[in-house]
Structure 1
């Protein structure tokens, strides 16, 4: 082949590859309600047709870029508890760079214990003591201790069935007026409460989790080798049994009712059915950290199982405080929706 033909072929294939690139991108700057840039903010775009998630984190200057997005419509969100940003039908064209600046407004009341710093702390690492993983007398990792609320490191990719998507849209349109926390009902389907600290007390046959800011305020995980009862009455928190796989405690939870929301997913009002099955894998890689991988499976709600990952930091100077939800509860009169 003549050299000039080689050059022509190379140029042809390069042009063809370029022409076939139908992806675009979204870029912008994340600021808070006062206009200050927000660094380290997780940003995600969900393709409304395929359900695929594309993720990034804002830089020190607040800038972010989501690249290689197939052309289509997206939901753009900042999935952090306490912040309020979610924009639907963001249309990305082929070879387009779309500018979308994000103004993340916190939804706190700026009262003591529910100010902006509180919500920022939910997603921020804490200073922890150094040291090896503590172990029990039988050489199992000891998960005991007081732990800060878990911070999400990977939200996973939850793709819901049409009925669930419609209900989530309705709840969002009503500004979450039917939210369970405002009615002092249980909110966590995972074992660790998302607000407030958690105390884990581990024995050879039982793991107890005391939660500061949820009802009923405790979870029992049976480690004595029993199985799930055959005829479980559905409950808010289900029935949990655990087993050790090496240094990982695997907790299997079934028997949920269908009344709770998967509010463990930041910014979500996700429903579920009584088929919900949650598997939690706990690891304590060192003294100061507790890693949890949670798998959600519910064929009545999700098109496929999905996982989320969280990390809790040891809080050696904290205790689980008293939390009386019904005392001076003033939420309900303000939840009027639209």
Structure 2
């Protein structure tokens, strides 16, 4: 694995030194916390992988402050930590030297791909929402949050992957894919989010089927797959599928060498949604996911396609 990491950084032109160590830290965060996404990056050309690892590493570092703050950490403490990150982010976006390793790597990636600072500021706004907002009135309210927490991730990665059409033509599909991935996570992790005091199922959909937070908490506590909650999850699964449908045409708009990576992530994440459906939307007794064997089976053919594209696409 170390040889692979070194080969990636060599291909990206990031030689020995502190910046290389910063990139390696981000790669480690991605490999440890984002295994499905990390599997998909294996079929990217090596030179493009480090930037994706950095974008994930930054998002993960902020997400951990919000979701895994540690025992005894107050909301005020979390806001203070986010303040520190936002100051370092400002430095990164304005050409100053950031203090933290992840942010130094981020500054390099942002400059390399000319990424708009607005994407990162929108992300930070949504992360702060998680400290104060515990439920969402309707899908529009939820998608306002998801723009900053997920859609902009797709938009950040788009310039790294490259496109064969004007970037603005591919952007709506990239944003939709970010939202689709996140909504799949929300449907899979209802119980986990409840433990953090949050409900990402729109209130109007819950009410339409006679469900509410207390019923969700009962299901989480007892493992009951209540028919009313099943109906809510079934409706939101259809919303999720529509987002995947909106995202899918964007895959063909990507640079041929990047398509297999995104297609692999697309198939693996949509497979989680299918697992939820097969289980009759029971998300209480099992955390749905894709097996390592299935990931390998998906990544193998994608790697062949990626190598073929590298060999025969124009530089």
Normalising by structure 2, we get a TM-score of 0.29
Larger radius of gyration: 1
Q: Which has the higher contact order (CA 8 A, sep 6+)?
A: 2
Structure having the larger proportion of residues in helix: 2
Normalising by structure 1, we get a TM-score of 0.28
